[in-house]
Amino acid sequence: MQCQECDKRLATLHFTKIVNGEKTELHICESCAREKGELIPGTSSGFSIHNLLSGLLDLESPNPNSMAKPPAAKCDTCGLTYTQFSKIGRFGCSHCYKQFAERLDPLLKRVHGNTVHVGKVPKRAGGRLKTKREIDRLKKEMQGRIEREDFESAAELRDRIRELEKEMSC
């Protein structure tokens, strides 16, 4: 989320201000807060976190670098368009992450400073991941054996791969 004051740095201070029952949120970065010497800048008009996030996406302004290869404009699973995403700052389904992948990493980098998960892995999906990686490894190995014309042991690997693939589809 971008700082609302300088529009450059990441906002790390978030305030909810309530005046006469009217609630507004304020998001500023640490150095803007310090510059002002206080933590409460003047009043601001109402806006939501997701409006701010969408500001970050900057879809409407043409960017010569990212426009070279336009990504899919629409998620073919849930139907969310990138324009909609850039307005509301939320994805419609898990497939959106793949669909909008090209534009996603720069955004994630700005929000999190990272693009790759290193935490917890669900046991079941994790098991599938492991099997997938094993299949990839075996396929490479099989290719090598075919090139060495070791067809007998390549056939063994082929059977093992088929087994694993069957496991995966269950």
Partner 1 sequence: MSKRKFVKQALSQWMNGVGPDSDVVISSRVRIARNIRSLPFPMMSDPSQSLTVMEQLLGVAENGRLNGLGKVEQVRLTELTELEKLVLVEKHLISPSLANESRNGALILSPNEDISVMINEEDHLRIQCLCSGFQVREAWDAASKIDDIFEEQVDYAFDEKHGYLTSCPTNVGTGIRASVMMHLPALVITGQINRILSAVTQVGLAVRGLYGEGSEATGNLFQVSNQITLGQSEQEIIENLFQVARQMIEHEKSARSKLLTESRTRVEDRVRRSYGILSHAIIIDSKEASQRLSDMRLGVHLGLLPEVNELVLNELLVSTQPGFLQQAFGEAMSPEDRDRSRAELIRSRLVTTS
Residues that bind partner 1 (CB under 8 A): 1, 10, 12-19, 21, 29-30, 33-34, 37-40, 50, 53, 77-80, 88-94, 97-98, 104, 107-108, 111-125, 129
Q: How far is CA 161 from the centre of its chain?
A: 31
CA-CA distance, 126 to 140, in Å (whole number)? 22
Closest approach, Cβ 90 to partner 1, in A, equals 5
Q: Which of the residues 56 through 75 are near Zn ion (CB under 5 A)? A: 75
Instruction: Say how many C-beta atoms besides its own lie within 10 A of residue 100's C-beta.
Output: 22
CA-CA distance, 55 to 59, in Å (whole number)? 8
Closest approach, Cβ 155 to partner 1, in A, equals 30
Instruction: Say how many C-beta atoms besides its own lie within 10 A of residue 10's C-beta.
Output: 15
14 binds, among Zn ion, partner 1, none (CB under 5 to 8 A by kind): partner 1
Q: Is 99 exposed, middle or buried (0-12, 13-18, 19+ CB in 10 A)?
A: buried
Please identify, among the stretches 27-35, 53-61, 125-133, 154-162, the one whose residues bind Zn ion according to the rule CB under 5 A: 27-35
Closest approach, Cβ 82 to Zn ion, in A, equals 11
H helix or E strand, kind and range, residue 26: strand 22-28
Q: Which is nearer to partner 1, 52 or 146 (CB)?
A: 52
| Residue 78 makes contact with Zn ion by CB under 5 A | yes
Q: Which is nearer to partner 1, 53 or 135 (CB)?
A: 53
